[in-house]
Amino acid sequence: MDDDTESLSETVPDCLECSICFGLLYKPTALDCGHVFCFWCLFRSMAQWHASKCPLCKRSFSVFPRVCRPLYMYIRSKYPRTFDQRRQEVEEFERATERQSPAEEHILTPGSGANVDRLPPTASREIRDLLSAWQGNDAPQPPLPPSPSRPAAASGAEPMAESGGGQQGEDGAAGEGDEAFVHVSDEVSSLLSPEMRPTAVRLPVREFVHFQVGCDGCGRLPIVGARYRCRDCHERVGYDLCGACHRENYSRCGLFNQMHTSAHRMELVQPDAVTVLLNCLHKCHPTLPLAELLSLLELQGSSGPSTPDNDSDNDLEDETPERTGPLPPLGLMPDEQSPPVGDDETGDRPAPAGGREEGRGGSSA
């Protein structure tokens, strides 16, 4: 009887179950639309080539949010046994994939760069009521103002990346000036038709898209504008900043627990030929889906721009296994966006990170 009572005491309410994996929210991340998902569930649902959409309501977003510290603490306190089980499963998943989510010590430390201190006001009433009762404070939590050391996305405020087309260039050229252009090599230019060249060869730095690469400062994915890489972070995933975060001297831990410090050296990344060609094609055919642009790129075959082995640091394909490659058992094609939950005609759902399909109440990363 005692065992049954203990089991019932850890019955997780629906509002604290991830809508992607149906498990207890683990390292919960909240979108501005108010929907909350596990850290890995949300990251793996994001598009790597363009703005993503909420798996539930399909609202567009391009910033990967930090872990919500109050909600993480509440779940850890109220459901310790289920929480420990989830922790073990996620740690096993991370060991198998050689990846890390934010460490608990960073999640629990205010201002570490790995967390936010509030839920968005659009979060469900059930979750907000649970937190308010637990904290003993029914007052609304105002957003923390952005500052040079706390970008908008990390402060809980509405990130600039949600403002639409204008946000694409707010990074500017990270000091290079609004009129700076990306160098288009003769090799890339030769692959373009004469009609395309006048338009394609003038690629403003502030509009250049670094496909599949996200910013470890503000969380924008993909980075638009100048991109900086840390020379001293040796983690497999690397450490990248957009122009805006680099100008603010952002030097906190990365989205994936990289041990970045202010003493580390950052360098401006010169995009590889494949990324430049893809941006050229996108500029000339702005309405063409990226999936079709990738098909055009594949058609270049052996005549396309090469990415030699000795230049692997800038190879687009090398970005994939490090930061954004397939994460077994859920891997997304480059142009694939997870369908809204409950909107899949087949009724199938991606397998959770624990490596098995589970019904409601199961677990995953």
DSSP 190-245: TTS-TTTHHHHT-EEGGG-EETT---TTT-BSSEES-EEEESS--STT--EEEHHH
pLDDT for res 137:
54
Q: Which domains does the chain have, with CATH numbers?
A: 2-155 (3.30.40.10), 171-324 (no CATH)
**Cis link prior to 142 (omega < 30° from 0)?**
no
End-to-end CA distance of the chain: 31
**Any long-range contacts for 300-304 (C-beta under 8 Å, 24+ apart)?**
300/191, 303/191, 304/191, 304/274, 304/277
Q: How many CA atoms lie within 13 A of 186 on its CB side?
A: 0
Task: Tell me what pLDDT residue 61 has.
Answer: 95
| CA-wise closest residue to 247 among 165, 164, 170, 313 | 170
Q: Which residue's entry shows tokens 């000091």?
A: 175
- 60-61 and 52-53 beta bridge pairing: antiparallel
Question: So what's the pLDDT on residue 200?
Answer: 81
For CA atoms 119, 228, 286, 302, give the dihedral sign.
negative
Residue in 19, 4, 27 with CA at minimum distance from that of residue 89: 27
Per-residue pLDDT at 220:
95
* pLDDT score of 50: 86
Locate 306 and state its tokens.
């090469």
What pLDDT, on a 0 to 100 scale, did the predictor assign at position 85?
Answer: 94
Q: Are 236 and 322 in contact (CB under 8 A)?
A: yes
Q: What is the pLDDT of residue 176?
A: 46
Maximum distance among all Cα pairs of the chain, rounded to whole angstroms? 79
Q: Radius of gyration (Cα) for the chain, nearest Å?
A: 21
Q: What is the pLDDT along the chain (365 residues), one digit of tens a residue?
A: 444 444 445 889 999 999 999 999 999 999 999 999 999 999 999 988 888 999 999 999 999 999 999 999 999 999 999 999 999 999 999 999 888 999 999 999 888 888 898 889 999 999 999 998 888 754 344 444 444 444 444 444 333 333 233 333 344 333 444 568 888 888 888 888 888 888 888 889 999 999 999 999 999 999 999 999 999 998 888 999 999 999 999 999 889 999 899 999 999 999 998 899 889 888 888 888 877 877 877 775 444 444 434 343 333 333 333 444 333 222 222 333 444 444 444 344 444 444 333 333 333 44
